[in-house]
Structure 1
């Protein structure tokens, strides 16, 4: 853990507790990204062709190991919104079909569904407290629901859903489950085989500590075989450069309709290589630190919005004027985010107990 922390320059200047917004990129990942760009500078297309020679199979294997997925089920995407749109528009849902989601989602998880609503698909939104959200989703999961779209961890409350339990119920009802994992991938250990999810999407710039423009999409084998959009790499014959010949790519490249951000993706997979062997330790440490935030905040008489028994790495502490509180903490070189009715403290595994205590103490002072 200490060795990894040494790779994070922001720790020299700030107490950084804002990983649910953007994580600092480790030096080794930055070097991986810059190394690729330097190679392009030196050799142009020769370097690009070398990196792409296996159609990114090695990079897909890295992500597959991270998620316990087949490499052929992993596509690289620029952001979460892209992946969600690709999936929901690729399922050929029609008038009368129901999509189930909830009101604690980040807009990019829900907004693509409104496009489907315009053609008669029903978007059913569960409106519930963080404590009761999971039970309400399970209660609403009837056989009329074709797709469930949820976040593994809520961005504005920190509540963690049991996606395995929801996937099991969805399967029994003939429903599919799409999980936005941007607030869990990198903080929690995710096993797509064990949980049984059908789709998992995440950008890499939060808990996976990678550049913006990096991300991945898991699509269970046999689903969305014909994507909703085609680009020049959607064809298995794309290297013929012939617009009159098209044969739909059957592998994961079918979702990568154009050129991906190779530099950002290389950084992502380099981080994932480092995180995969210590996934259990990372999850244990993240949960330990978020528990410390809750315990110390409550000991100081602060109200915590995040349910302790359903937490991940995010803890939201209720405050007066959250934006002003975040500004006061920043003046003390502590970085958090105002979210909803409180400040969001999002600790990663390399943070220290002393940093957590300092942040919670300053939140308490701001309310005096």
Structure 2
């Protein structure tokens, strides 16, 4: 992927392995934001109709990235948590109903469901340990289970779940399927139709290489009207351009979840970032990330006393590999890496690396050398 190196002119010596947290922008994204800022300085919103054309193009790029049936299924939201909240507080819950999640979820995909406790909704946490985590999740279903909410990839371990199998299990048990896709969308091929999900959501600032403050919410067409709305404004109306009309109704499309003025600055940035992923091609992005995770796995296994906490099987891997060093604390290891400009994260039982498709293998070698030196110190 060296042909895209010019898109990531990072400072010399930087080893950026933290795309599962916040990713660097491609150069084209910075250029798009700069041009938008300069336009605002010189002519303000004179060309606002052109902005709407770009926003529409962003919706189409997101539709393709998720393989949603229609752009009408796509809402532009502030973040994953907002989209999860639309689902949690939009469904009409009955006391005694259950939500199944895993015991490894990021707080965004746990707290929002636990917040339904005053309504009598029960959250069932299921262990993903063992050879068949999907079976563990599906075995937790009871006649009272209404929704399965799961991350496509677990943020700390990098465990990738078989979403199609889970989707089929939900269909057989008449359970709604909600996917937090933030650790997969932009890193691996993702397909809401093949997965059979009711809802999917993700932020743009990780694997999609975009800014914070703008994400995507997919809501299956037959479920949109079933989610009660709690945010209202001019932008979510069916006839949003008719400011004088006294009669109104929510938009039939997923725009019904976008209550007010859009994040145009974020849209300019994310649209540019997604254009790069489209140019590379998601199958190629996935293959390149897999090659880098395999390379890191083999390199870490050659270092004495390294303990891997991520799956070793290719079908279970995504863009995350988490490890620790026996005899040294994770805080010490993380500090040593940070000192040598290895940008990573301390998550779960260890330190987490998350390269993207463009990450040079030389950067992986340098990061591994830092760990080897620290392990021998």
Of residues 307, 311, 336 in structure 2, which corresponds to 1:307?
Answer: 311
Matched, 1:292 2:295: yes
Matched, 1:264 2:263: no
Matched, 1:317 2:320: no
Aligned residue in 1 for 2:63: 64
Q: 1:229·1:257 contact (CA, 8 Å) conserved in 2?
A: no
Q: Give the 3 Å change call, closer, same or farther, for CA 152–11 of structure 1 in structure 2.
A: farther
Q: 1:99·1:147 contact (CA, 8 Å) conserved in 2?
A: yes
Deviation, structure 1 residue 136: 1.2
Q: 2:106·2:155 contact (CA, 8 Å) conserved in 1?
A: yes
Deviation, structure 1 residue 13: 3.8
Counterparts of 2:143 and 2:223, CA distance in 1: 19
Counterparts of 1:62 and 1:83, CA distance in 2: 19
Q: 2:96·2:122 contact (CA, 8 Å) conserved in 1?
A: yes
Of the structure 1 ranges 143-152 and 128-137, higher mean CA displacement relative to structure 2 is found in: 128-137
Q: Give the 3 Å change call, closer, same or farther, for CA 243–130 of structure 1 in structure 2.
A: farther
Counterparts of 1:324 and 1:243, CA distance in 2: 62
Matched, 1:229 2:226: no
Instruction: Give SS of 1:316's match.
Output: strand
Deviation, structure 1 residue 38: 2.5
Of residues 278, 287, 298 in structure 2, which corresponds to 1:276?
Answer: 278
Deviation, structure 1 residue 333: 1.8
Q: Deviations over 1:254-292 (max 9, x none)?
A: 011122211112221222122125111110111111111
**Number of matched residues?**
367
Deviation, structure 1 residue 145: 1.5
Q: 1:130·1:307 contact (CA, 8 Å) conserved in 2?
A: no
Matched, 1:198 2:201: no
Of residues 254, 257, 263 in structure 2, which corresponds to 1:255?
Answer: 257
Counterparts of 2:54 and 2:143, CA distance in 1: 39
Over aligned residue pairs, what C-alpha RMSD do you find?
1.9
Matched, 1:344 2:346: no
Q: Deviations over 1:37-72 (max 9, x none)?
A: 3223222232334312x5943321121122211111
Instruction: Give SS of 1:201's match.
Output: strand
Of the structure 1 ranges 15-24 and 26-35, higher mean CA displacement relative to structure 2 is found in: 26-35
Q: Deviations over 1:139-178 (max 9, x none)?
A: 2134432111111111111111111110110111001111
Q: 1:141·1:170 contact (CA, 8 Å) conserved in 2?
A: no
Of the structure 1 ranges 14-23 and 87-96, higher mean CA displacement relative to structure 2 is found in: 87-96
Q: 1:199·1:220 contact (CA, 8 Å) conserved in 2?
A: yes
Aligned residue in 2 for 1:115: 115
Of residues 356, 363, 375 in structure 2, which corresponds to 1:355?
Answer: 363
Q: Give the 3 Å change call, closer, same or farther, for CA 74–249 of structure 1 in structure 2.
A: same
Q: Give the 3 Å change call, closer, same or farther, for CA 292–27 of structure 1 in structure 2.
A: same
Q: 2:331·2:346 contact (CA, 8 Å) conserved in 1?
A: yes
Counterparts of 2:299 and 2:19, CA distance in 1: 20
With structure 2 as the length reference, what TM-score do the two structures score? 0.92
Deviation, structure 1 residue 218: 1.0
With structure 1 as the length reference, what TM-score do the two structures score? 0.94
1:1-368 equivalent positions in 2, closer than 5 A:
1-10=1-10, 12-52=12-52, 56-69=55-68, 70-129=70-129, 132-225=132-225, 226-232=227-233, 233-241=235-243, 244-277=246-279, 278-301=281-304, 302-309=306-313, 310-319=316-325, 320-368=328-376
Deviation, structure 1 residue 202: 0.4
Q: 1:326·1:335 contact (CA, 8 Å) conserved in 2?
A: no
Q: 1:188·1:279 contact (CA, 8 Å) conserved in 2?
A: yes
Q: 1:203·1:215 contact (CA, 8 Å) conserved in 2?
A: yes
